[in-house]
Amino acid sequence: MQPFAVLGSGSWGTALALVLARNGHAVRLWGHNPEAIEQMAQAGCNQRYLPDVPLPDSIEPQPDLAAAVRGAQAILVVVPSGAFHAVIQQLARVITPGTPVVWATKGLDAAGGGLLHTLAASALPGHPLGVLSGPSFAGEVARGLPTAVALASEPGDCAEQLASAFHDGRFRVYTSTDVVGVELGGAVKNVLAIATGIADGLGFGANARAGLITRGLAEVRRLGVKMGAQDTTLTGLAGMGDLILTCTDDQSRNRRLGLALGRGESVDDAAQSIGQVVEGIRTAGELEALATTRGVDMPISHAVHQVVSGETSPRAAASALMQRAPKSEFGPD
């Protein structure tokens, strides 16, 4: 049986490699740092991110990208959004024609501020493409706890084919044809999780948290309309589901960053203490530009951008949100 290639050996990439391995598939797990990959091979686990979860023999840590993808039946890209473009460009030079490529990266194009499938389609013409997203913490997936996600591709591309490779009694995969909606939900929720973390860090309570989640979902849906997403997607696993997860549980790096900001820490100090990429910091600026270009009112996301860019304080941003003029909940922007 042809192996799968997973590009990205962080916590999420390793967790998804474990899902495939538990389902009987051979997996080559690539990372950009050869020393870390060698350490993983020797230790038999991802000591930095998932030290308590052993890697089965069917997962081969592989430091060479070309060797990792050679002959793969499908490739899963699981790198931070800031590295997505570079990795896709590298992949384009070594991939076998026609190999399906799916990404589980949650973010926007670091250069252009658009969605990642635009980058993938440009670099990998002729390849079936898809995106996997939904409410999923890597540690829980790695330990085999029940999880449900969405896998989207254009009709007839690869969602149906690859869903069965991931799907089992502990990792449930729903298919979709709404690539835009699945990507958008996974990106924007990181920014909104910073907002709820800030509110909790300021001690604003459960009422504020619920209000931010609900109005944050309204922002995602407004942007989704302008970008051609299906509204049902944004009220499903990849939208509302992932939003609830990241806004309410401290396993979320974005929420933890917001908590630290609300308690008075700087962005740099908070990010350093977390020790992993906090996607919402970068995405906040990219989302600000995207919303402006599309003419979409996203006041919560705008407030997060102002805080993480140093333009205002968490308390001043919260005060500005609460002092906005009254409006109909379901009226126009």
Give residues with Cβ within 8 angstroms of 9, minimum separation 6.
29, 30, 31, 33, 36, 37, 40, 46, 61
Radius of gyration of the chain (CA): 19
User: Among the options 106, 189, 226, 327, which is catalytic?
Assistant: 189
Question: Is residue 33 within 8 Å of residue 41, measured between CB atoms?
Answer: no
Alpha-carbon torsion (257, 258, 263, 265), positive or negative: positive
| CA separation for the pair 63, 33 (Å, rounded) | 7
Give residues with Cβ within 8 angstroms of 216, minimum separation 6.
188, 189, 192, 195, 196, 243, 247, 300, 301
**Residue 22: how many other CB atoms lie within 10 Å:** 16
Q: Six-digit token pair at 303?
A: 């407030």
Give residues with Cβ within 8 angstroms of 75, minimum separation 6.
4, 5, 6, 7, 69, 91, 95, 99, 100, 101, 102
Nearest to 224 by CA among 311, 119, 294, 313: 294
Give residues with Cβ within 8 angstroms of 25, minimum separation 6.
1, 3, 4, 58, 165
The pair phi, psi for residue 316, each rounded to 5°, is -65, -40
Residue 3 is given by DSSP the state: P
Residue 106 annotated in active site: no
Q: Which residues are catalytic?
A: 189
